[in-house]
Amino acid sequence: PYAPYTGVPSHGATAPHIVDSGISHGLTHANCQPDPGEDVGRIIATLFYKTTPRTTAVESRSPSPGSSGTDDAGPKGAPTTSTEASPLEPPPADEIEPLDHLYGSHVSPLCITAFLALLSSLPLPQGHTHITSSHRCLDVPSPSHPRVVELTFSPAPDPAYISLAELRKHELIYRFERAWHVDVVLQADTPLRRHPRLVVFDMDSTLITQEVIDLIAASIGAEEAVSAITARAMNGELDFEASLRERSRLLKGVSAGIFDELKPVLDITPGVVPLLRALKRLGVKTAVLSGGFIPLTGYLAEKLGINHARANTLTIEDGALTGELTGAIVDAAAKAKHLVELAELEGVDISQVVAVGDGANDLKMMAAAGLGVAWRAKPRVQVEAGARLNGESLLDLLFLFGFTRAEIGVLSGESE
């Protein structure tokens, strides 16, 4: 029976005994550090290990995912490869050794430690001598081998020395990414980061794996003409609108039914369908803004359940395309304008808008959004965008909002 404590210690059989309950509990809160009322800025760093093989002259010293883990070796482990193929001098000083080959093909504890050491080398705000950090694994494909890790640290580097935008492009970050074969996405830790309300996508090479103009060119036998226009555009001889109009003129006389013929050919990017399903469950509105043509853009939006679609319109006469465009051209500036208009239409603050694209004509809409994400993009776009993803599935976008793999499975319906 329970006996209330009287202030006199018990003895013998009635004395209380301390036993291990088997329960482990930790209590912490971000507001406990630093001092109350002091805002030093917290940053979220999301580290994505690249599962695609790197191109390097250094042989792997540990098996990568999917490999057998065995090397071509002779008796007692002696290599059978001829030494004639080996360099006689050390690699250049600027060649970065792939450390993931030494410490594991994942975001390893040493990788995280190295990243924290990098951050510690940057000047901190006055009055601060060290950073406080914590991390959690968002995606762990195999035990103890996380692919995606979210690391929170504070304070942010001294803004008088370097801003968040500058930190994203810092040489130290670049070298760290190369050494550990990871992508690092840096975001300010704000409540709205986890709650986007509008996500806007490019279409070509983003929602689908192809470029629609290439599909059209192949279907009408105009590959060489389209390639010539593309080359002139890349050389700076044509801007986007001029190149689009020249490409459109190649369609003069082509049956308007060509778009119906191309609909079954569209190859949706891996992860798009479950991503859109998850965003819908979260109440997030979606849009596709394309520099292509509305028949295919509208079709794709309807098929995927996307709320809004904007693209260019071709004129049609007697069931054939005239090769001329009607209405305003959806170029880089128009994409940014449409993004802002859609945010206003949906009553969404611009800080809760995410823009995803792969090309230079997506940079303006990325800059207009709260977060711009480069998806397997061209080098310039990856440098300029606020975030970048280079994985195999666009579903990785949800990791940037702080969701774990288990939570993503529930939201996308993949775990049902």
Q: How far apart are CA 287 and CA 196, in angstroms?
A: 13
Choice among 100, 139, 202, 396 that is catalytic: 202
Q: In what order do the strands lie in the sheet with 148-154?
A: 132-139, 148-154, 43-49, 182-188
DSSP class per residue in 172-231: HHHHHHHHHTEEEEEEE--GGGG---EEEE-IIIIIBSS-HHHHHHHHHT-HHHHHHHHH
CA angle 327, 329, 330 (to 5 degrees): 125
Q: What is the 3-state secondary structure (H, E, C) of 329-383?
A: CCCHHHHHHHHHHHHHHHCCCHHHEEEEECCHHHHHHHHHCCEEEEECCCHHHHH
Alpha-carbon separation of residue 285 from 29, 50, 93, 277, 289 (angstroms) = 32, 29, 49, 11, 13
Contact between 307 and 319 under an 8 Å Cβ cutoff? The reply is no
Active site residue 202: yes
Instruction: Name the nearest CA neighbour of 375 among 351, 396, 403.
Output: 396
Active site residue 318: no
Rg of the chain over all Cα atoms, to the nearest angstrom: 27
Choice among 183, 204, 358, 396 that is catalytic: 204
Widest distance between CA atoms in the chain? 103
Q: How far apart are CA 384 and CA 68, in angstroms?
A: 38
What is the set of active-site residues? 202, 204
